[in-house]
Structure 1
Amino acid sequence: MRLSQICSVSEPLKLGRLRGNHFDLVVRNLRPHGASDEHFSGADVHGRLAALIKEAVENRRGFVNYYGPQRFGSGQSVLSDQVGLTLLKEDMVSAVRLFFSPEESDDPHSLAKRHFLQTGNAKESLALMPLSKPRERLMLRALNRYGTGPDGCVQAWLSLPHSMRVFYPHAYCSRVWNDAAAHRLSTMGLGVRQGDLVWTQTGQKRTEDTGETTCPQIHVVTCEEEQAGVYSLEQVLLPMPGNSVKYPENAMRTWYQERLAGDGLAECRFRVSSLKLNLPGCYRPLLAIPHNLSYQLRRAAFSHGAKKQESVTESLTLSLNFDLDSSCYATICLREIMKCET
């Protein structure tokens, strides 16, 4: 580990204030999409893959700035955004039950969750819960002390640090943002439209995930500006729902209203006072653009099979190096390059 540029500053770094992240990724055993092992041969495969990767990597338009699957807890029976929606509805008991929804497996974590849902016995469930699950253990301790009724469930959520509590409503808002981005592009295309929100200051940090919602650089595109092509798609912002954001002044405003109403949040003020949560919202760029991107496609040999009958197969390996701005997801960037699900 190397530490550098150490100095005294007036205030500490907070969530969302980093400049960005650097990624060095290696993708092994590449093949054209849909190709099986028996078809993964021939002299033209390397050239075909090289052309596909060159086209994807050198795309200067960027990619849709979706929140990545880790924001929602991929692979779980109940995703974090579902828990967050229930918290925003202030149904604390249902939120606790969703939180403790077990997977179908019989690992100790799932067994402890299942025991709690079946028996309601927080003390016994705590004894079964692995030590590696601090959130679940904190909540079970509180449920054992305060009970499993509405007030006890409030205390269970309050037993979590604020950053853990707010994660779930943020996950819901992130899901809405992802769906809004998909709808915006499918219905309004790749151009900048009247009523869109745009970022008018270049070379400055955008407000994102910091709770800072006073942003004079947010501008509503006029009809004249749309016709003149004043702004580009990479300047377009979409709001993450909250109580202090401006919504687009076009069809997207109606989409947000209908989406929130459909989820039962038509009157939501994005405050959960019992949990000391306030969600002001933020603005997120519709597109993300990797910086300092470089790549290398090379051949690599790997062996497989038993040692006595070991065979050596040649495969292709892709090395990717790039920087992303704060709150952009490398998993989404990789999905765009690979053209496959993360």
Structure 2
Amino acid sequence: MDKKRMSFPVYFKQRYGDFIVREVSEDGKIVTLTDTTTLPDWDKQVEESQSQTYTDEDVVNAFKDIIGDEQVAVQLLSYSKMDSKVVKDKFQVTGKVTEEKELRKQFHDAVRKYFSGNLESELNNSGKEKSIEVFFPQKRRRMMSKNTARGWPSGKPEYLQFVLYKENIDTTVALEALSKATGLPSKTFDTAGTKDKRAITSQLITIKKVDAKRIRDSAAKLKGIKVGNFSYVHKPLKLGSLHGNHFTITLRGIEAPMDVVVQACESVKKFGFINYFGTQRFGTSAIPTHHVGKYLLLSKWEEAINLVLTPRAFEKWEITEARIHWMKTKDATSTLQVLPRYQIIEKILLRGIEEYGCNLTAFSKLPLNMRLLYVHAYQSYIWNEMASKRIDMAPTPEDLVPIPGDLVYDTKLNDHIYVDQNNISNYTITDVVLPLPGYSVKYPKNAAYDHIKEVMARDGLDPTDMKRNIRIYSLPGGYRFLLRKPMGLEYSIYQYNDLCIPLALTDLDVMEGKKEPQSAPDGSRTALVIKMGLDSATYATMVIRELTKYETSQIAQKELQSKYDREQEGKEEEAQEEDIEPTEDFQINADE
């Protein structure tokens, strides 16, 4: 916001460990992995019983007491020792045990206790006479999923909650790995939201009626993933059920004077930052997602399709080749033949075109969340434009105050109202909100609104006309605060030499008793480590952008990397001319 402050480039996410994200739960606690072994009290008795060994006599006596027939108990024991790969028939138990609910429960519990999952049991009501069938699980993955909830103890909360800690892995990929390890469908794991791939993150997960031991033991050998801090809760997580996130961010390669860096940190602490939607909202390619969204709002389906399939920079050649083929031929069938299999979105779209032509029906084959992403990106683009105009209306951060015509959120009224001369003294700039374009929102009555009317008019759109015949493209809109302040912002400046050395502790580091990194007195390089909390739907990249006055997008970071590489080449050439060894240095690797 302070236009007079000096900008300084930084290496952002140079190492994935430079971006540590810990979810902040709805009760305001920072989610941290502190224990990977301890089971909840509910499970400790089960684990102890499973660690015991039983004699044949113990097994026979236990089932004789339940069934009332020693011979059947002996036969059941013999059945349990048969080769599960050969035996196809189920062992049938009839009589009194099938009629009384309490006896049936005791029987099922005994099967779990004495046969440790090697046998399973279930009641069969389909015949003339009830029976309990005992059998060897054949399709283990399916049975584990199907029988998860069987025998859940009365009074035990239905949901297991645990911390998922991951390194350089997307949340979806991590849950897929857990799914394969446990034999549970990935859709059964609940989250409050996804976390960055190129980062070290900790977040809560819930799953219904699954024991902690199963998750703990199954995840033990997974690479880059740890689970722990198990507990049982009464409610599952839902998307958005978090207070926000806590960040520990290392910014490397700082060459600006230290007084400039300190001034920047103090400015963000005092004034906050513009609550822009981050660049990731608009995609990482040369074809921004909001351009596609514009055409969807204009009902120009063919233009939207062509944008999705247009060639873009920084892609693999085989993908670019397929995109060029589409632009030249407009033939979906032949394009599909050259398109790499892993390009899922393009493949779905081309198959839709193949069947229906280049129209709405074809585009509608894309997943709903993807289609919504495009139109929401356009809303975000317009919001960012409006925010920039509103900030420009104040020459300095000190002049940034509510003005007549602004919209504010009044907590007492629980409503968005206009600022006027009568109520202006009741609000500060942190109360000001801006709308995302939609048919159910109010717009500011000042130059900020005039600006976005002009921007949308150039796109052929009108902010007061956002209803569409197709429901998902009919946008109600919403509100977003103009400014946000980081919570509890702390910063430290480090000198260092080794480009690979971590400058912040992860949850695993703390568990292993590692000490806090120290600044090297003789360090030739400078880094800034920031710790802060942010509300949900607020972008850490926008804090860094405000702090450094420098772009954090992938393209900007690649340009910075190229400049760095050129400088290093120059140093190596000088070293060779002087017949000395070049100094070791580090290359930013986006795939670290």
TM-score by length of 1: 0.79
Task: Indicate which of 30, 35, 53 corresponds to 2:254.
Answer: 30
Q: CA deviation at 1:53?
A: 2.4
Equivalent AA in structure 2 for residue 266 of structure 1? D
Does structure 2 conserve the Cα–Cα contact (< 8 Å) formed by 1:292 and 1:322?
yes
Task: Indicate which of 513, 538, 548 corresponds to 1:338.
Answer: 548
Change (3 A) 1:111 1:275: farther
Change (3 A) 1:53 1:104: closer
Task: Indicate which of 243, 257, 269 corresponds to 2:465.
Answer: 269
1:158-173 equivalences under 5 Å are: 158-173=364-379
Does structure 2 conserve the Cα–Cα contact (< 8 Å) formed by 1:18 and 1:326?
yes
Question: Is 1:201 the equivalent of 2:411?
Answer: yes
2:526 aligns with 316
- RMSD, matched Cα: 2.5
Does structure 2 conserve the Cα–Cα contact (< 8 Å) formed by 1:177 and 1:239?
yes
Partners of 1:128 and 1:6 lie apart in 2 by 50
Does structure 1 conserve the Cα–Cα contact (< 8 Å) formed by 2:310 and 2:324?
yes
Partners of 1:239 and 1:287 lie apart in 2 by 13
Question: Is 1:245 the equivalent of 2:445?
Answer: no
Equivalent AA in structure 1 for residue 245 of structure 2? N
Cα displacement string for residues 191-238 of structure 1 (whole angstroms, at most 9, x for unaligned residues): 200111111218xxxxxxxxxxxx942121111233xx3211111000
Change (3 A) 1:158 1:294: same
Does structure 2 conserve the Cα–Cα contact (< 8 Å) formed by 1:302 and 1:314?
no
Change (3 A) 1:136 1:8: farther
Q: CA deviation at 1:303?
A: 7.3
Task: Indicate which of 207, 229, 245 corresponds to 1:21.
Answer: 245
Structure 2 residue matching 1:25: 3-state secondary structure: strand
Q: CA deviation at 1:180?
A: 0.6
Task: Indicate which of 259, 277, 282 corresponds to 1:72.
Answer: 282
Q: CA deviation at 1:313?
A: 7.1
Q: CA deviation at 1:140?
A: 1.2
For structure 2, list consecutive stretches of 5 or more residues without a partner in the other structure: 1-164, 166-226, 501-521, 553-592
1:154 aligns with 360
Q: CA deviation at 1:272?
A: 4.2
Partners of 1:17 and 1:284 lie apart in 2 by 18
Structure 1 residue matching 2:435: 3-state secondary structure: strand
For structure 1, list consecutive stretches of 5 or more residues without a partner in the other structure: 33-47, 203-214, 305-311
1:56 aligns with 264
1:123 aligns with 333
Question: Is 1:110 the equivalent of 2:334?
Answer: no
Change (3 A) 1:127 1:268: farther
2:481 aligns with 285
Does structure 2 conserve the Cα–Cα contact (< 8 Å) formed by 1:303 and 1:313?
no
2:291 aligns with 82
Change (3 A) 1:251 1:339: closer
Task: Indicate which of 196, 201, 217 corresponds to 2:415.
Answer: 217
Moved more, 290-299 or 86-95: 290-299
Identical residues among aligned pairs (%): 32
Say which structure, 1 or 2, has more relative contact order (CA 8 Å, 6+ apart).
1
1:128-143 equivalences under 5 Å are: 128-143=338-353
Q: Which has the larger radius of gyration?
A: 2
Change (3 A) 1:303 1:250: closer
Aligned residues: 298
Partners of 2:379 and 2:478 lie apart in 1 by 10
Structure 1 residue matching 2:532: 3-state secondary structure: strand
Partners of 2:429 and 2:228 lie apart in 1 by 38
Structure 2 residue matching 1:90: 3-state secondary structure: coil
Change (3 A) 1:246 1:268: closer
Does structure 2 conserve the Cα–Cα contact (< 8 Å) formed by 1:158 and 1:275?
no
Moved more, 21-30 or 82-91: 21-30
